[in-house]
Amino acid sequence: MKLIGDFEKELAKSFDMKDVVPAKKILGMQIMRDRKSKMLWLSQERANKFLSFGKGKPVWEVVKWILRYLKCSANKFLSFGKGKPVLEGYIDADMEGDLDSRKFTLGLVFTFAGGAVSWQSELQKYVALSTTEVEYIAMTKARKEMIWLKRFLQQLGKKQKRYDIHCDSQSALDLSKNVMYHSRTKHIDVRYHWLRQVVEEQQFKLEKIHTDENPADMMTKVVTGGKFHLCLELIGIICM
C-alpha cells in the first residue's frame, strides 16, 4: 500500500489528481467488496429488474413470436416427388414494400419435382416507379437464377425441353415481349432489357399465373393464414 501511495504522489506532481471513493458501479453493474475476506462481487440485480418489469416486455413479445414459429413449424417437412421432375420458377414483387425507404421487395422461388430448391426474399436497393417495373426486374433476376439452376441440373444429366417462369403481372409479361420504348418504361435500366433477348431466343418461357396460385406471394407481403398454408403446399412444404 505504501508503494501505491508513493506512486500516486509522483503522478500528482505532473497531473491534477484527487482521491475518489471506491467505484460502486461499472457498466451498469453493482460492485460489492469485502476487504476482510478479500472478496469482490458484481451484481446485475437492478438491470435484471429493469428488463423484467420495465422495457423488457417488447423483447418478450418478440421471443413469443419465435416460440410460436418453432412450435408451428416443428412438424413441417420439405417434400419432393409430388410434382413432375421439372424445374419451374415463380416470381412476385411488392412495390413500396418498405414504408420508410419506399423500396420494393423481390420474391423468387424455384421448384423441382414439386419441392422448393431455391428461394429468395430481398429488399431491393432502389425505388421503382411502377408495379410493371418491379415485376419486370423480378423476371430478369429470376432468369439469371434459372440459368444457374439449369446448368446445375445439366451437370447431373437432367435436361428438359422448356424452362418456365410464372408471373402474375400481365403488363410485365407484355413489356418483356415488346421491344418498343415508351414514356412509362424508357427509364428502366438497360441491363434489365436483357430479358427480352432471352425471350426472343426462346431460351425459356414466361407464363401468366393467377395471384392466388403464386407461391412467391408469401415472399413479398403479409398474406392470410389460408394463403400462407396454400403457398407452403405449392412449394412442397407439408405437415407430417
What does the pLDDT read at residue 46? 61
Please indicate whether residue 22 or residue 234 has the higher confidence score (pLDDT). Answer: 234
- DSSP track, 106-165: EEEEEEETTEEEEEEEEE-SS--S-HHHHHHHHHHHHHHHHHHHHHHHHHTT---S--EE
Q: Locate cell 441440373: which residue?
A: 153
pLDDT at position 49 over 60: no
Beta-bridged to residue 77, according to DSSP, are: 238
What does the pLDDT read at residue 149? 92
pLDDT at position 55 over 80: no
Q: What's the rounded mean pLDDT across residues 128-141?
A: 76
What does the pLDDT read at residue 111? 93
Using alpha carbons only, how large is the chain's radius of gyration in Å?
30
pLDDT at position 193 over 90: no
Strands (E), the chain: 25-26, 29-34, 39-43, 76-78, 87-94, 105-112, 115-123, 164-167, 205-208, 237-239
pLDDT at position 106 over 50: yes
Confidence tier at 189 by pLDDT (50, 70, 90): very low
Residue type, 82: K
Confidence tier at 71 by pLDDT (50, 70, 90): confident
Confidence tier at 179 by pLDDT (50, 70, 90): low
Which range in 94-98, 99-103, 168-172, 234-238 is most confidently predicted, on average pLDDT?
Answer: 234-238
Q: What's the rounded mean pLDDT across residues 41-56?
A: 56
The domain spans of the chain are: 2-55, 73-239
Q: Return the minimum-mean-pLDDT range out of 40-54, 87-101, 127-141, 196-210.
A: 40-54
Share of the chain above pLDDT 70, in %: 74
Q: Rounded CA gap, 134 and 127, in Å?
A: 9
Is the Cα torsion angle 27, 32, 33, 38 positive or negative in sign? Answer: negative
Q: Return the minimum-mean-pLDDT range out of 12-16, 85-89, 95-99, 178-182.
A: 178-182
What does the pLDDT read at residue 182? 54
Spatial contact of 199 and 180, defined as CB atoms under 8 Å apart: no
Q: Rounded CA gap, 102 and 124, in Å?
A: 10
For the chain, the average pLDDT equals 77
Q: How is domain 73-239 classified at the architecture level of CATH?
A: 2-Layer Sandwich (3.30)
Give me the half-sphere count of Cα atoms (radius 13 Å) on the Cβ side of residue 220: 25
